[in-house]
Amino acid sequence: MSTVTSSSLLEASRVYSVPEQLLGLKQLSKNLWWSWNGEAQALFAELSPRLWSKFNHNPSEVMMNVSEQELTARLADTAFSAQVSHVLKKFYDYLGSNTTWAHTHATEFADHPVAYFSAEFGLHESLPIYSGGLGVLAGDHIKAASDLGLNFVGISLYYREGYFQQRLSPDGWQQELYPLYKPDFLPLDLVTDADGKPIVVSVDLAHSIVHLQGWAVKVGRATLYLLDANLEQNEHHYRDITSRVYGGDSTTRINQEVILGIGGVKFLHALGLRPKVYHMNEGHSAFLTLELLREHIASGKSLTEAKELVKSRCVFTTHTPVPAGHDRFSPDLMDYTFSHFIKSLGIDFDTLMSLGRENPADKLSHFTMTVLCLNLSRAANGVSELHGSVSREMWKHLYGTASPSDVPIGYITNGIHTRSWINDKADAFWRRHADDNEAFFTDANTLAHILAGISDAELWALRYQLRREMIEFVRQRLEEQNLRHGWEMGILYPHTLSPDVLTIGFARRFATYKRAPLIFSDIERISKIINHSERPVQLVFAGKAHPRDNGGKKFIQEIFHITRMPQFLGKVIFLENYDMNVTRHLISGVDVWLNTPMRPLEASGTSGQKVVASGGLNFSILDGWWREAYNGSNGWAIGKDEHLPDQDAQNKLDAAALYDTLEHDLVPMFYERNKGIPTNWIARIRNSMQTLMPVYNTHRMVTEYIEKYYKTNA
Ligand SMILES: *Cc1c(COP(=O)(O)O)cnc(C)c1O
């Protein structure tokens, strides 16, 4: 070996001293960078496999249970210590890189960040401050912003009881549990000033003042700030405002939104940050515009001037394709909530209301958060092509135009942070075939080259490996669930699911428009499909209904009862407590991801994008992202690119289309084998990977946001 080679080898695997490694592991556990790096996760799993699993893969909690003495001793294991050094080098290289995309393409944000406000962030299962797709999108957005090197901060709330944990009663009715998530056990740091004193800001709420502290979460190079009203100096009932994701009634809701929007701006300013762009992810954070207005008016600007200045800094993403889904507050509630704030705002109540009224002349009408966003942003967008056009139609009256094409709402189709959604097996597979070159996640040519080097048999081996891994996870979860319901140990296992059988997954929030039970519209027909002697099918469901959504809970119960019918036992499964961990298991293992929303209510959807890199295929209504992604041979469509005004008729039509495709195309293709391998099926997997992975990711999505919306002169 020449000296040159050995010194570059040494550089590539820099060895850190034991104190450096101790510090490094602590820093690593506190930076969500680990959540998309399998090798980093493996270090914490290695420290304690049981705690890693018991604490829902939470490095902070593992680290709290491992003494410095034990860590030091473990680091004497040269293999472990080499692995720690290897990961730390990657971690520090990532944090310190000055060759990111933004270094050359988005320099105008170097001193002034993009501030992204979202009521929820889904970063990882161990930080449960999300309820569903909106939060997961925000989490994937901030991760990609970090990867791109964009100067970016997130703002949200610290929900110490998170979203609920779901259990089903023996009769299949959803129960909600709210464990407490203490900050000490999470990757959170209290935000303090130079003297170590907590930074506290306050907002006027009704007739009170509510004080807020903030927690910082490091997400790679980006930071997410979580505001927290649980301070002793607050009146008791205000301390609980931030306890739960979308908890309580409309009063709690408006209070949370005041804290998020107004408190968020004040907090950023207290940190000395002057964002170049404020991005409102859905209308929940719209009140941030009021705080910005207040500042400009206080500095002597007229309302008209202030509005223009606020508009020039704000952009808005809408996610809700039905009028009823938008946050609306009554004049009374607005009057009460802003009774104090309005005095410092310097405008009268009617003027305030007019900023959020669809028809400002209607003095009885409610205040709509989306209207405030649209009035006070310079740009707005929906989250898929169809959703963009639905939104333009829905809001055209605000612009006094009969033609939706004149409405300034564009679209950027959602994507996923691919790295966060592949499990360790799929990660190893891609690593092996891509030689650690990550470009294939986003670049079609690189991906084509890599795919050409992978044989059908290798792809099929991956599918088997991932399907089995998922089934074993499901069996274990189900056993716990069944024991609680008084079933005898072993009554189902190992007769639950078969690794040889075509497996269809459906998991998401149980909002009724997503129509989870659609596939059971005709019990006889689906039973024949599932119990076919040569070509059987099995189904796995998971999902939470919002605590106040009885319709969604009824859907869960309906499916739960179906899982108990003799013809479906062990073949149709409902897994409790859907979260990002359950997602990752299901999207890795299923062959087909089913999505049956009532069109056009799925603004984009992202869960189907998660199956692609693991070789799953989409089978979905042509709504949201799938309507523009489906090309005839990268998955399957349910029905046509159209919808009827009559919902019952639409349900019937969609169910019939679903069964037809299953019976005549999808199921036969899976079981048609050529020397043991389903060649046509694998061709579809290749087509899916090639056409979807490079497009439906947050790298593409965030780049589009930067170019089209964040840059002022774009
Ligand atoms: C991806 C994801 C979602 C979004 O699912 P859709 O089908 O796109 O609505 C919701 N919840 C969790 C936990 C997810 O991981």
Tens of pLDDT, residue by residue over 92-134, are 999 999 999 999 999 999 999 999 999 999 999 999 999 999 9
pLDDT at 119: 98
Asked if residue 543 has its Cβ within 6 Å of ligand 1, the reply is no
Task: Give the mutation target among 124, 585, 594, 607 for probing the ligand 1 site: most ligand atoms within 8 A of CB.
Answer: 607
Tens of pLDDT, residue by residue over 25-82, are 999 999 999 999 999 999 999 999 999 999 999 999 999 999 999 999 999 999 999 9
pLDDT at 4: 39
pLDDT at 489 over 80: no
Asked if residue 416 has its Cβ within 6 Å of ligand 1, the reply is no
Reported confidence tier of residue 14, pLDDT bands at 50, 70, 90: confident
Over residues 304-326, the mean pLDDT reads: 94
DSSP string over 566-596:
GGGTTTEEEESS--HHHHHHHHHH-SEEEE-
Asked if residue 120 has its Cβ within 6 Å of ligand 1, the reply is no
pLDDT at 323: 83
Give the separation between CA 485 and CA 172, rounded to whole angstroms: 10
Query: Are 662 and 537 spatial neighbours (Cβ–Cβ below 8 Å)?
Result: yes
pLDDT > 70: what percent of the chain? 97
Asked if residue 583 has its Cβ within 6 Å of ligand 1, the reply is yes
CATH of 110-414+703-710, one of 3.20.20.20, 3.20.20.80, 3.40.50.2000, 2.60.40.10: 3.40.50.2000
Task: Give the mutation target among 36, 129, 136 for probing the ligand 1 site: most ligand atoms within 8 A of CB.
Answer: 136
Kindly state the greatest CA–CA separation across the chain.
83
Query: Are 553 and 174 spatial neighbours (Cβ–Cβ below 8 Å)?
Result: yes
Give the separation between CA 63 and CA 76, rounded to whole angstroms: 17
Q: Which atom of ligand 1 is nearest to the CA of 602?
A: 9
pLDDT at 6 over 80: no
Q: Which atom of ligand 1 is nearest to the CA of 584?
A: 15
CATH of 440-696, one of 3.40.50.2300, 3.40.50.2000, 3.40.710.10, 1.10.357.10: 3.40.50.2000
pLDDT at 7: 41
Render the burial of 140-156: b for 16+ CB within 10 Å, e for the rest: bbbbbbbbbbbbbbbbb
pLDDT at 576: 96
Both tokens assigned to 266: 């004040």
pLDDT at 415: 98
Q: Which atom of ligand 1 is nearest to the CA of 582?
A: 13
Q: Which atom of ligand 1 is nearest to the CA of 133?
A: 4
pLDDT at 511: 95
Tens of pLDDT, residue by residue over 603-648, are 999 999 999 999 999 999 999 999 999 999 999 999 999 889 999 9
Residue whose tokens read 């523009």: 628
Asked if residue 508 has its Cβ within 6 Å of ligand 1, the reply is yes
Tens of pLDDT, residue by residue over 219-244, are 999 999 999 999 999 999 999 999 99
Task: Give the mutation target among 126, 508, 592, 618 for probing the ligand 1 site: most ligand atoms within 8 A of CB.
Answer: 508
pLDDT at 491: 63
**Rounded to 5°, angle at Cα 599 from 596 and 603:** 95
Reported confidence tier of residue 495, pLDDT bands at 50, 70, 90: confident
Q: How many helices (H) and strands (E) does the chain have?
A: 31, 20
**Whose CA is closest to 331, among 290, 286, 364?**
364
Both tokens assigned to 101: 């995309």
Phi, psi of 356 (to 5 degrees): -120, 10
Task: Give the mutation target among 127, 141, 164, 583 for probing the ligand 1 site: most ligand atoms within 8 A of CB.
Answer: 583
Going from the Cα of 655 to the center of ligand 1, the distance in angstroms, rounded, reads 22
pLDDT at 294 over 90: yes
Over residues 564-593, the mean pLDDT reads: 96
Over residues 389-409, the mean pLDDT reads: 92
Going from the Cα of 55 to the center of ligand 1, the distance in angstroms, rounded, reads 22
Give the separation between CA 269 and CA 157, rounded to whole angstroms: 17
Q: What is the dihedral of CA 387, 390, 394, 397, to 10 degrees?
A: 110
pLDDT at 593 over 60: yes
Asked if residue 604 has its Cβ within 6 Å of ligand 1, the reply is no
Task: Give the mutation target among 509, 590, 626 for probing the ligand 1 site: most ligand atoms within 8 A of CB.
Answer: 509
Residues forming CATH 3.40.50.2000 domain(s) in the chain = 110-414+703-710, 440-696
Asked if residue 606 has its Cβ within 6 Å of ligand 1, the reply is yes
Least confident of 6-15, 277-286, 366-375, 534-543: 6-15
Give the separation between CA 497 and CA 468, rounded to whole angstroms: 9
Q: What is the dihedral of CA 139, 144, 149, 150, to 10 degrees?
A: -60
pLDDT at 5: 40
- Distance in angstroms between the alpha carbons of the first and the last residue of the chain: 53
Tens of pLDDT, residue by residue over 430-484, are 999 998 788 889 999 999 999 999 999 999 999 999 999 999 999 999 988 888 8
Query: Are 410 and 404 spatial neighbours (Cβ–Cβ below 8 Å)?
Result: no
Tens of pLDDT, residue by residue over 666-708, are 999 999 999 999 999 999 999 999 999 999 999 999 999 999 9
Residue at 368: amino acid letter: T
Give the separation between CA 158 and CA 162, rounded to whole angstroms: 8
Asked if residue 580 has its Cβ within 6 Å of ligand 1, the reply is yes
Ligand 1: which residue has its CA nearest to atom 5?
A: 607
Asked if residue 624 has its Cβ within 6 Å of ligand 1, the reply is no
Mean per-residue pLDDT over the chain, rounded? 95
